[in-house]
Structure 1
Amino acid sequence: MRGFDSVLVVDWSAASTRAPARPSKDAIWLGFVQGGAPQEPVYCRTRIEAEARIAAIIEAERRAGRRLLAGFDFPFGYPRGVARRATGRDDALVLWDWLAGRIKDSETGANNRFDVAEAMNALFEGPGPFWGKTHRDRWPGIPYRKDGIAFDGIPEMRACDLAARAASSCFQLCYNPTVGSQMLMGLPMLSRLRRLPGVAVWPFEAWQEADVVLAEIWPGLIEPAVRAAMAEAPGRIRDAVQVDLLSRALARMPEARLGALMSDLPPEAAEEAWILGAGAGEALAALAGGEAPPAPPPLRDDCFAMPAGTDWTPVDDALAALERGLHPVVQSGRCPVAAAAGRVLALPVTARRASPPHANSAVDGYGFAHASLPPGDPVMPLAEGRAAAGAPYPGALPAGQAVRILTGAILPEGVDTVILEEDTRQGAGHIAFRAGIKPGANTRRAGEDMQEGAEVLPAGRVLTPADLALLASVGIGEVTVFDCLRVAVISTGDELIEAGGEARPGQIFDANRPMLLAQIARWGMEAIDMGRIPDDRAALRAALDDAAGRADVILTSGGASAGDEDHVSALLREAGAMREWRIALKPGRPLALGLWRGAPVFGLPGNPVAALVCTLVFARPALGLLAGAGWSAPQGFDMPAGFTKSKKPGRREYLRARIRDGRAEVFPSEGSGRVSSLSWAEGLVELPDGAAQIAPGDPVRYIPFGSFAL
């Protein structure tokens, strides 16, 4: 069986009214784990809205190449014999279509399910089998209670209901649980969904290779986990908790176990359907209780491979190879919005409600209906009361009157225009102002900033403080974010000592490690200081082993070339995953890349200037991709040169630079050992691969350090 990449769990409703605007119980909730990353449960006010959302998820998952398991919390089939009574065939899918042709639904929730149930009862001898209704004196063909229904021609319970110990009945239309009503309103929706491209129904169709599989689920299987979650957070809506936990549990279930649950079915399932997970409730509840989400796939051994025959690699080719070979290596989880600054969104976020949620006043003033203005300079009587933010005006404003309204207040019914307080004169219960105000003046439309259901932020976004304000404004309390990328930093070389120590002849202070650790922290990643390692292969091997166990990525400086003491490249070569990139750039040609125990290693040059340039040009976009933020190219700007330069062809060059008096000036010395130039500079001037003659005033590409998020 092909494994599932994403899981959708639907808590259905047969309500005859539209659910409240504020998320509530006994409505429709969608739990969704996309590519191993749980999303915030989605609240739907009507069945029509929910079906549209489900269809959109199916289309999006197929388009993204992710296989989807979609579970619904109502029976997919009736007890044996019901389908034949209605359609003449023992085929549940034919009965789905039969119901789809008879059930009528509406945006208000009004539907004809009791009429259809009464018609189905007429197909059977005696009272029932459907029972329970909202009015004793309506639908005489439906018993008000179950008393007196024999269930001798057909069983009351399905085989899977007995196996799962589910107490609900397919025939109960009223009084919780209203499974019978959910079926009547749900099966027609499934009849339409199964006709979408790539969709199959388990266990009625050949589902093993389908892109999307519809399955019956029962949240009661994970009841212990739901009770525990509700005890920890009593204010949460139980329906939302159920779909969230069950979608996580199914996503975490090992592929082989899930495949066995979907394959080993009794004969009754062919007509009656089956509850996915029946008999495995304890395992599902344990998975719902918090086992770790699936780990992302490991990087390939050839992720740093260059085309055969490559000698000196152009910078653009090296960047393209990195982007092509890498993918995110971190897991994802839920995070409160208040703690999400600097984190990377693992999933796109959609608005839970519009912003602003209601049309409101943009100023302090007076509101009225523009169409009711008298001719000339208006004089209007003031209505009693006022509208304020958080204290709406009660009722509708009579035509021809004005009402006091404050900034942010919901526009009362009958108000579409507001005049600024300073533009009016008040007295004797009236206001007067000049003619000429336009309809809708000084008002904000509902949703003019963000519509409910619109995408607020895309996956891969590194969240800023402004993003947190936007998320909060549309009701988002939690987001799915990637874990922080853990980056280990190792300095190598016998000549290095810690800054502040006493240097002997031939020793230098380690400048790279504090620079790299600070850069990583600025990028919102977790920097892990592995210290200084001497030119000793055994010590470096132990340090790499330790780093691979503690970090997702390893940065080393020094030892990346092919000399006698270049142990980083030597060890990576021994591990069989070494790629020595001879990159056509200045400074920083040697760059050793490889995998050490599954962790990517970036072997940077030991020279601080070359180490900085290689980190900014190569490591920065690669780390962003590994962290889930996607590949980012730095933004450069054409600026007039404030220097003279003659450049030979063959290598791209990066000069330490800054902007002064509208021109790009470069550090007087190009020596790669001039550490002071890094502090002096505020960016880099990038010179092309070919030959160049640059005179003052010629345009050059300047990349500020801010474009590298420094």
Structure 2
Amino acid sequence: MPDAMISVAEARARILAAVKSLPAETVSVAEAVGRVTAIDIVARRTQPPVAVSAMDGWACRSADVAAVPAKLVEIGYVPAGASFDGTVGPGQAVRIFTGAPVPAGADCIVIQEDVDAAGKNLTVREGAKAGTYVRPAGLDFKAGEVGVPAGRRLTPADIGLVAAMNWPWLEVHRRPRIAMIATGDELARPGEPIGPNQIVSSNALALAALIREAGGIPIDLGIARDEEASLSAMADGARGADMLVTLGGASVGEHDLVRKVLGQRGLALDFWRIAMRPGKPLMFGRIDNAALLGLPGNPVSSLVCATLFLVPALRALQGERAESRPPLTAKLGRDLAENDGREDYLRSTLSFEADGTPVATPFDKQDSSMLSRLARADCLVVRAPRAPAAKAGSRVAIVPLGSAGAFLG
């Protein structure tokens, strides 16, 4: 029922069940970092294609250098990018450089630091077993192997791998287009004249940054005034978007118009209240074949809710595989009182003990009006409804923010 207050986990599950991955498009591998693969990327070649030397030295037979010092004769020279067409026989060696194919007959490389060379006559001072400093064919990957699976967000290392596998173009999911409407007569854009009863609108800019960071394309439709015609006109601009996100106007009150106006335009409401803090008034549904996410107008509540609900939805729209892993935890840095009936997300800093154990310390004041605290936070400490008092040093679940997520892995 839309009016029932639901848990964070149920809200996230409903949102993810309602969004489907977007179609694929073809992009250059040079432009694919951060995009999500739509198909398995299969190696089109074997790397290395033949056995190659891992060091500069001489290719020879291990049997000839089993006892040292050993005397060999150089019969050829092969730099990287070339090959030696003959065969290495008993007592023979070929000068070779890193990456060059190992000649037929040779089964090891003696490195140049272990060889005294007098013209073509070589004295090997340190022997080598078969396979020493030889990279066998297919050591990195073999033709037909899956190098990068479908549903993976491509990293710089992935780009190098798919390029090595000879993929100049890639099939990736289209980036989701996210339309945004902020609501409220009290809002003014940064730099605009600010009336005596107005505040600077920070939500849309922060949310646009979060959307870009998560791989989406933000479409800022502007600020709708507290009148039905203004909001309805702005909603027209969301046609063709994959999701509409509203900021404010989702709670109960005579000036909260989002549900009323969008309801007149065919909004199918799923839920609009979550048992969490900050961010109780959060609305989700569908309108004009697009998902609708109504975030709270409070900047802190808005960004916390966007982190918990919008970012996972963006990943799902891009076809990113949902990884099943236990929640991240940290030691609690200060005592906490028992919690009430709502799931709490406490803005916290992270520090690390000498052994690398993370310690999450919630700010003493968690007022949702304090955006500066969110900007300074490294993570959110999660407290279950009715959680008992917790002592410093106990383990708590955390949601990393910003660069802390990459660091904690």
Number of residue pairs matched by the alignment: 400
CA contact (8 A) 2:110 2:127 kept: no
CA shift at 1:382, angstroms? Answer: 1.2
Rate the CA distance shift 1:709–1:617 in 2: closer, same or farther, 3 A: farther
Letter in 1 for 2:204: R
How far, CA to CA, are the matches of 2:99 and 2:289 in structure 1? Answer: 55
Q: CA deviation at 1:548?
A: 2.1
Alpha-carbon shift at residue 408 of structure 1 (Å):
0.7
The equivalent position to 1:586 in structure 2, one of 272, 277, 280, is: 277
Contact 2:232 2:262 in 1 (8 A): no
Alignment-derived partner of residue 316 in structure 1: 9
- Aligned partner letter, 1:702: I
Where do 1:506-585 residues align within 5 Å? 506-549=197-240, 551-574=241-264, 575-585=266-276
Counterparts of 1:180-195 in structure 2, within 5 Å, are none
Cα distance in structure 2, aligned partners of 1:690 and 1:408 = 63
Check if 1:463 corresponds to 2:154.
yes
What is the SS of the residue equivalent to 1:692? coil
1:449 partnered with 2:140: yes
**Normalising to structure 1: TM-score of the pair?**
0.54
Q: Give the C-alpha shift of residue 707 in structure 1.
A: 6.7
Post-superposition CA distance 1:87-135 (Å, at most 9, x none)? xxxxxxxxxxxxxxxxxxxxxxxxxxxxxxxxxxxxxxxxxxxxxxxxx
Contact 2:56 2:112 in 1 (8 A): yes
> Any idea what SS the aligned residue of 2:36 has?
coil
Alpha-carbon deviations, 1:61-95, whole Å to 9, x = none? Answer: xxxxxxxxxxxxxxxxxxxxxxxxxxxxxxxxxxx
Question: Which residue of the partner structure matches residue 332 of structure 1?
Answer: 24
Query: How much does 1:668 deviate?
Result: 2.3
Code of the residue aligned with 1:680 in structure 2: it is: R
Structure-2 change in CA distance of 1:623 and 1:394 (3 Å): same
Identity of aligned residues (%): 36
Match of 1:694, SS state, is: coil
Matches within 5 A, 1:637-656: 637-656=328-347
Q: SS at 1:346's partner residue?
A: coil
CA drift of 1:507 comes to 0.7
Residues 324/665 of structure 1: CA separation in 2 closer, same or farther (3 Å cut) = same
- Structure 1 or 2: more strand by fraction: 2
**8 A Cα contact 1:572 1:594, kept in partner:** no
Residue pair 1:653, 1:689 contacting (<8 A) in 2 also: yes
Gaps of 5+ in 2: 354-358
CA distance in 1, matches of 2:324, 2:272: 20
State the one-letter code of the partner of 1:568.
V
Q: Secondary structure at the match of 1:617?
A: helix
**Cα drift, residue 647 of structure 1:** 2.6
1:310 Cα deviation from its structure 2 partner: 7.9
Paired residues of 1:522 and 1:709 also in contact (CA < 8 A): no
Residues 331-480 of structure 1 aligned to structure 2 (within 5 Å): 331-373=23-65, 375-383=67-75, 385-480=76-171
The Cα of 1:633 is off from its aligned counterpart by 7.2
Alignment deviations for residues 243-283 of structure 1 (CA, whole Å, 9 cap, x no partner): xxxxxxxxxxxxxxxxxxxxxxxxxxxxxxxxxxxxxxxxx
Q: Compute the displacement of 1:603 (Å).
A: 0.4
Q: How far does residue 450 in structure 1 lie from its aligned partner after superposition?
A: 1.1
| 1:435 CA drift (Å) | 4.7
Aligned-partner Cα distance in 2 for 1:462–1:413: 42
Change in 2 beyond 3 A, CA 1:391/1:644? same
Q: How far apart, in 2, do the equivalents of 1:317 and 1:533 lie?
A: 30
Matching residue within 392, 398, 403 for 1:696:
392
Query: Given that residues 315 and 583 in structure 1 are in contact (C-alpha distance below 8 angstroms), is that contact kept between their aligned partners in structure 2?
Result: yes
Say if 1:374 and 1:680 are closer, same or farther in 2 by CA, change over 3 A: closer
**In the TM superposition, what is the alpha-carbon distance from 1:524 to its structure 2 partner?**
2.2
Q: Could you tell me which amino acid in structure 2 is paired with residue 333 of structure 1? A: E
- Which range moved further: 649-658 or 360-369? 649-658
Q: Which has the higher helix share?
A: 1
**Cα separation, partners in 2 of 1:709 and 1:511, compared to 1, 3 Å:** farther
- Contact 2:378-2:404 at 8 Å conserved across structures: no
2: CA distance between counterparts of 1:684 and 1:581? 22
Contact 1:638-1:701 within 8 A present in 2 as well: yes
Give the C-alpha shift of residue 505 in structure 1.
2.2
Q: Is the 8 A contact 1:484 1:627 kept in 2?
A: yes
Between 1 and 2, higher relative CO (CA 8 Å, sep ≥ 6) is seen in 2
Counterpart Cα distance in 1 of 2:237 and 2:282: 22
- What SS does structure 2 have at the residue aligned with 1:564? coil
How far is 1:542 from its partner?
1.8
Matching residue's letter, 2:372: S
Structure 1 residue identity aligned to 2:93: A
How far did 1:353 drift?
Answer: 0.6
Q: Report the Cα offset of residue 441 of structure 1.
A: 0.9
For 1:424 and 1:367, locate their aligned partners in 2 and report how far apart those are by CA, in whole Å: 12
Per-residue CA distance 1:173-218 (angstroms, 9 max, x = gap): xxxxxxxxxxxxxxxxxxxxxxxxxxxxxxxxxxxxxxxxxxxxxx
